[in-house]
Amino acid sequence: MEVILKEDVNKLGHRGDVVKVADGYGRNYLLPGKLAIEATLANRAVIEQMKGSAIRKSAKEKTSAEELAKTLSQVELTFERKTGENDQLFGSVTSGDIAHELEKQGYTIDRRKISLEEPLKQLGEYHVPIKLHREVTSHVKVTIKGDAADEVDSATAAS
């Protein structure tokens, strides 16, 4: 089945591309999710017009993403978590936690755009990449500190 993508789809293509996909994938995922339309002759003509507007829209999105990337590169997030031995966290800091903290500071960013290979489970400083646009990636500084109560408990236990 050939479809025309209306949105960027990971590992498949970008908006406006004509791609060949399995019938079930197209019928059950792409078409109902409004991510694509069938590649008929009429739709191909419409898509040519949409490509022009998509290029302009993408350029505008890229400009706004670059501006947001500049401000995000200055942002520092600090998390306090309980720790066990060897500075290992009880739990972890996930992309959802980072997105929630960014939202508190006034930045609305989807957690799926935060590129964490795996949740952060150690104390320390991390530079977490955020993919704002397919060509624009910013980094946010994330610091994970131990809970102040844990430090007091370990200090009294040592004496």
CB of 77 within 8 A of CB of 141? yes
Quote the number of domains for the chain. 2
For residues 83 and 149, state if they share a domain.
yes
Domain span at 8: 2-61
Residue length of the chain: 159
Q: Bigger pLDDT: 52 or 101?
A: 101
In a domain, residue 68? The reply is no
Tell me, yes or no, whether 98 lies in a domain: yes
DSSP three-state, residue 45: helix
Instruction: Specify whether 50 is located in the same domain as 79.
Output: no
Q: pLDDT > 90: what percent of the chain?
A: 18
pLDDT tens by residue, 43-79? 888 777 777 777 888 888 888 888 888 988 888 999 8
Q: Assign residue 99 a region: left if phi > 0, alpha if psi is -120 to 50, beta otherwise?
A: alpha
| CATH code for the domain in which residue 104 is found | 3.10.430.100
Answer whether residue 134 is part of any domain. Answer: yes
Q: Are 82 and 151 in contact (CB under 8 A)?
A: no
Q: What is the pLDDT of residue 58?
A: 81
Whether the Cβ atoms of residue 123 and residue 144 lie closer than 8 Å to each other: yes
DSSP, collapsed to helix, strand or coil, labels residue 67 as: helix
pLDDT band, very low/low/confident/very high, at 149 (cuts 50, 70, 90) = low
User: Is there a single domain that holds both residue 84 and residue 146?
Assistant: yes
User: For residue 18, what is the domain's CATH number?
Assistant: 3.40.5.10
Q: Which residues contact 18 (CB under 8 A, 6 or more apart)?
A: 2, 3, 4, 5, 39, 44, 47
Q: How confident is the model at residue 27 (pLDDT cuts 50, 70, 90)?
A: very high
